[in-house]
Amino acid sequence: MAKIALITGATAGIGEACAHTFAREGYNLILTGRRMERLEALAQTLNEKYNVEIAVSSFDIRSRQQVVKSLDELPDNWKKIDVLVNNAGLSQGLDPVDKGNFDDWDTMIDTNIKGLLYVSKIVSGWMITHGSGHIINLGSIAGKDVYTNGNVYCATKHAVDALNKGMRLDLLPHGIKVTAIHPGAVETEFSEVRFKGDKERAKKVYEGFEPLLAQDIAETIWFVASRPAHVNINDLLIMPTAQANASTIFRK
């Protein structure tokens, strides 16, 4: 029987690349995100290309009610999840703390921390019932380090780092693997979302150096997910060659 992966935030960037990679490897997939039309188009592409089964579920991960209802509604045979990729996340704004926007802070905290927790609680419960599973959390270099004006986004990713360690401890007796992947700059829709649709400003973030691609992270996540049963990669930091830490990028 094919294995199942649930990937949150599969409508763009790293999540979408993970969907392609896991489908290529023969996984059936549950893909989530708010943009249903993108989920449906991706499901059709993957189904045709790789002949795998795809379930899509559209919900706002910030809403506890939507998360619980949407996951609960999945048919029972889709609830034996082998891999959960906790990928949905975002940044909003890049301002010093005195100029930060309360709504942006709520959005980042509700998405990156609380949304990840809602999904993890439900899916880890299913994994415990089935006696196996692997949770892969998308942290960031921003969860290891802090950069100017990154304040709240960095705090949310530090929280993911802590939750990754906490989940690893809590799920250890159940044989469930837990991993955090911490990328540096990856060119996706991330900066466009951070700068609220300002494409020019977003493009500048990746000028003068070669950023990571979503596919680089997807292949790394696949490597982590495909280790033998006795091997767990707890924590992995992956950077563009031109980036040393959160705030030092060598630009030509």
- Is residue 212 within 8 Å of 183, Cβ to Cβ? yes
9 binds, among ligand NDP, ligand 8X3, none (CB under 5 to 8 A by kind): ligand NDP
Closest separation in Å from C-beta 243 to ligand 8X3: 8
Q: How far apart are CA 176 and CA 166, in angstroms?
A: 13
Binding of ligand NDP by 93 (CB under 6 A): no
In this chain, which residue has its C-beta nearest to ligand 8X3?
A: 140
Residue 27 a catalytic site member:
no
Single-letter residue type at 89: G
Closest separation in Å from C-beta 51 to ligand NDP: 24
Binding of ligand 8X3 by 185 (CB under 6 A): yes
Sorted by sequence, the CB contacts under 8 Å of residue 191 that are 6+ apart come out as: 201, 202, 203, 205, 206
Given the complex with ligand 8X3, which of 94 and 171 has the nearer CB atom?
A: 94
Element holding 222 (H helix, E strand): helix 214-225
Q: How far apart are CA 139 and CA 97, in angstroms?
A: 21
Q: Which residue has the tokens 């990154």?
A: 150
User: Contact region for ligand NDP (CB under 6 A) — 45-53, 57-65, 93-101, 165-173?
Assistant: 57-65
Q: Of the candidates 25, 53, 189, 219, which one interacts with ligand NDP according to CB under 6 A?
A: 189
Closest separation in Å from C-beta 213 to ligand NDP: 10
Instruction: Return the number of other C-beta atoms located less than 10 Å from residue 66's C-beta.
Output: 17
DSSP-derived 3-state class of residue 154:
helix
Binding of ligand 8X3 by 141 (CB under 6 A): yes
Tokens of 207: 């000028």
Residue ranges in contact with ligand NDP by CB under 6 A: 9-15, 33-35, 60-62, 87-90, 111, 138, 140, 183, 185-186, 188-190, 193, 214
